[in-house]
């Protein structure tokens, strides 16, 4: 049996936390020591962390039409990597104070894609985006939508959003993952989950 609970978070000794930058993203530097698997404590280490908080993504699925609603927008990280910087993604956003993640994805569905979630949300999973360098944790949901009128360009102007909506058949969405045309983690995870479970989702 896999055992991964030898240590607890309260055993980490934080020596200092220094804010480095606060803007669209915030970064802090931590000096700390942590328990070692062989016993004792590590030497003092320093790590910079992008402070991102909780986020959530919505797999907008129309089970009647067997279609997926995705959004396309510019992403600076993909540009810096030298990849195509306009990505096909899930509707997604960052949690605001006092907002539940379920409310978040329903709000973002309207803001980013002009669609409404019908009924309950199905939880797909939670995962850390890149725990070696960011605190961001994403919760993924699947929600039933009506894709018949989905389309157009959306987003909030004051946030600099320029978001184009795409409607894909389920089979085309699955193929886009296999072909590498969808290449961001949240969307890949959600679509692979749907490929495994779509026979029973919202039936």
96 and 21 both lie in a single domain = no
* CA distances to 7, 31, 58, 76, 164 from 82, in Å: 39, 32, 27, 10, 22
**Distance from first CA to last CA of the chain, Å, rounded?**
35
Decide if 4 is inside a domain: no
* SS3 at position 5: coil
Catalytic residue chosen out of the listed positions 159, 161, 195, 199: 159
Tell me, yes or no, if 96 is annotated catalytic.
Answer: no
Decide if 202 is inside a domain: no
119 and 171 both lie in a single domain = yes
Decide if 120 is inside a domain: yes
pTM: 0.92
Q: What is the mean pLDDT of each run of 10 residues along the chain (203 residues)?
A: 78 97 94 95 97 94 96 94 94 92 96 93 96 95 96 86 95 97 97 94 82
86 and 149 both lie in a single domain = yes
Please say whether the beta carbons of 62 and 145 come within 8 A.
yes
């Amino acid at each position: 049996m896999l055992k991964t609970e030898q240590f607890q978070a309260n055993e980490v000794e934080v020596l200092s936390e220094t804010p480095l930058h606060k803007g669209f993203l915030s970064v802090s530097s931590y000096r700390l020591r942590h328990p070692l698997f062989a016993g004792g404590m590590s030497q003092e280490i320093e790590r910079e962390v992008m402070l991102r908080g909780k986020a959530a993504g919505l797999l907008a699925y129309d089970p009647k039409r067997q279609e997926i609603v995705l959004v396309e927008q510019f992403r600076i990280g993909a540009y810096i990597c030298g990849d195509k910087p306009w990505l096909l993604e899930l509707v997604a956003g960052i949690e605001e104070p006092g907002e539940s993640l379920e409310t978040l994805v329903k709000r973002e569905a309207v803001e980013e894609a002009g669609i409404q979630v019908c009924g309950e949300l199905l939880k797909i999973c939670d995962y850390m985006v890149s725990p070696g360098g960011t605190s961001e944790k994403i919760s993924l949901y699947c929600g039933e939508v009506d894709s018949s009128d989905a389309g157009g360009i959306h987003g909030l102007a004051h946030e600099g959003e320029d978001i184009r909506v795409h409607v894909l058949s389920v089979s085309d969405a699955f193929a886009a993952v296999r072909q590498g045309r969808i290449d961001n983690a949240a969307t890949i995870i959600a679509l692979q989950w749907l490929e495994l479970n779509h026979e029973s989702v919202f039936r």
